[in-house]
Copies of this chain bind each other. A is one copy, B any other.
Amino acid sequence: MIMPYAKPPQDRIQRLRAFCLEHKRMPAYSEMLDLFGYRSKNAVHRFMRKLETAGYVRRAAPRKFAPTGRLTGSIRLLGTVQAGFPSPAEEELVDVLSLDEFLVQRPEATYMLTVSGDSMIDAGIHPGDIVLVERGGLTRNGDIVVAQVDGEWTIKYFSKRGRVVRLEPANKAYQPITPRHSLVVGGIVKAVIRKYR
């Protein structure tokens, strides 16, 4: 039977993944002895070389391994719902990525805020949602910003015509705001997250 790209035992990969996620580091070969159930470091070595060619780990330095996104990345990205839901058999083909890398460009400038109030509800931002806010970027028309207007913090659409800045809600029950005295943009909303259960 022809078996190109033989798949390494998923059980051992699972254990390695669990270890990396829990300890935030690669186990040493001596630790992998227990982890994989081997009694010889050579067996570990051979197995790791397989994982390397399979793309689960990569060489970080001459004698160091580092996990790839394929191993520790949290999420498999599939297509649209309409496009069909891949079956378990197809899972090996899809891409894997980390939510942090996917959503956050500049970690040191990014914050999470919990939204209260319904002034952006027509934009699909509900009370209790979490917004990812990035500080210091260039604000453009149409961006959703976290801003302090005359002492009060809100989330609004940002709009600038000439020299006039307007903060527009996404809710007909509220009026657009034109800052009277002060406007401080706390950051641009890069993503909205709603978490269930």
Q: A138 vs B111: C-alpha distance in the bound complex, in angstroms? A: 32
Does A5 lie at the interface of the complex (its beta carbon under 8 Å from any beta carbon of B)? no
- Against B, the Cβ 8 Å flags (1 = close, 0 = not) of A22-38 are 01111010010000000
Please tell me which stretch of A45-53, A79-87, A159-167 contacts chain B, meaning at least 4 of its Cβ atoms lie within 8 angstroms of it: A79-87
Interface core residue of A61, A74, A146, A186 (most chain B CB under 10 Å):
A74
Chain A, 61-89, CB within 8 A of any chain B CB: 61, 64, 66-67, 72, 74-85
Does A9 lie at the interface of the complex (its beta carbon under 8 Å from any beta carbon of B)? no
Residue of B nearest to A110 (CB): B75
Interchain CB contact under 8 A, B193 and A108: no
Does A98 lie at the interface of the complex (its beta carbon under 8 Å from any beta carbon of B)? yes
Does A183 lie at the interface of the complex (its beta carbon under 8 Å from any beta carbon of B)? no
Question: Which of B83, B84, B104, B195 is the one whose CB lies under 8 Å from A191?
Answer: B195
Does A197 lie at the interface of the complex (its beta carbon under 8 Å from any beta carbon of B)? yes
Question: Which of B17, B112, B155 is the one whose CB lies under 8 Å from A77?
Answer: B112
Q: Which 3 A-B pairs have the closest CB atoms?
A: A74-B100, A99-B99, A192-B194
* Residues of chain A at the chain B interface (Cβ within 8 Å): 14, 17, 21, 23-26, 28, 31, 60-61, 64, 66-67, 72, 74-85, 98-100, 102-104, 107-108, 110-117, 121, 124-126, 129, 132, 143-144, 146, 148, 153-155, 186, 188-197
What are 26 A-B pairs at a CB distance below 8 A? A24-B72, A25-B26, A25-B60, A28-B61, A74-B104, A74-B107, A75-B104, A75-B110, A75-B132, A76-B111, A77-B111, A77-B112, A81-B113, A81-B114, A81-B146, A82-B153, A84-B153, A85-B148, A98-B100, A100-B100, A121-B124, A124-B194, A143-B196, A191-B194, A192-B193, A193-B193
